[in-house]
Amino acid sequence: MNAIRAETRTAAGRAAVDVEAILDCPRAVVFAAFSDARSRAQWCAPPGARFRYLEAAFAVGARDVFECLGPGGRTLRGEVRYEGIAPDQRIVYTETLFVGAALVSSAAITVQFEVHSSTTTRVTMSADLGAGTTPEMVSGYTAGLRMAVEGLRSWLTEPSRRSPHAAPDSGEHT
């Protein structure tokens, strides 16, 4: 199994986080796992967390709104706005995260899907964290993107992880 590579760069109060992995699935299958909210709800949350979409619309200009109740009891609410989608190639979105009414972080994220071989895909998730970025934000995004890629890899390669019990109206997954 290929390792997941994570790299961070910081300068002048800004940071960028890149997480990359080679996944053992064709590019169209990997892209479909991102584009379908019910599928995404099954692999994107950290282990032990409860995740659900309050809104989900995968289209340019549309948004997803989600809640993630972590194992420690903290609820994170996120809003994603899709800025660009090139099927099987790239997704560009902004993400804003809140705990209660408090803004925790925001980022511009690009997900690249590249053919690595006829049966594998290189996925690169890049987050650009704006001015005022703290070391905690950088480590949080690094860990979050890494967990998402690990969850995606497991979901794609272990069919038993694919739950037929995700709530049809909300994409809820535990």
Rounded Cα distance between 75 and 32, Å, is: 27
Assess whether pLDDT exceeds 50 at residue 13.
yes
* Each residue's pLDDT tens digit, 63-122: 999 999 987 788 999 999 999 999 999 999 999 999 999 988 889 999 999 999 999 999
Helix (H, G, I), strand (E, B) or coil at 137: helix
* Each residue's pLDDT tens digit, 126-136: 999 986 778 88
pTM more than 0.75: yes
Instruction: Give me the CATH topology for the region 5-43+86-158.
Output: Alpha-D-Glucose-1,6-Bisphosphate; Chain A, domain 4 (3.30.530)
Q: What is the pLDDT of residue 170?
A: 42
Element spanning 150, H or E: helix 135-157
Q: Residue 77: is it exposed, middle or buried by C-beta count within 10 angstroms (0-12/13-18/19+)?
A: middle
**Structural domain boundaries of the chain?**
5-43+86-158
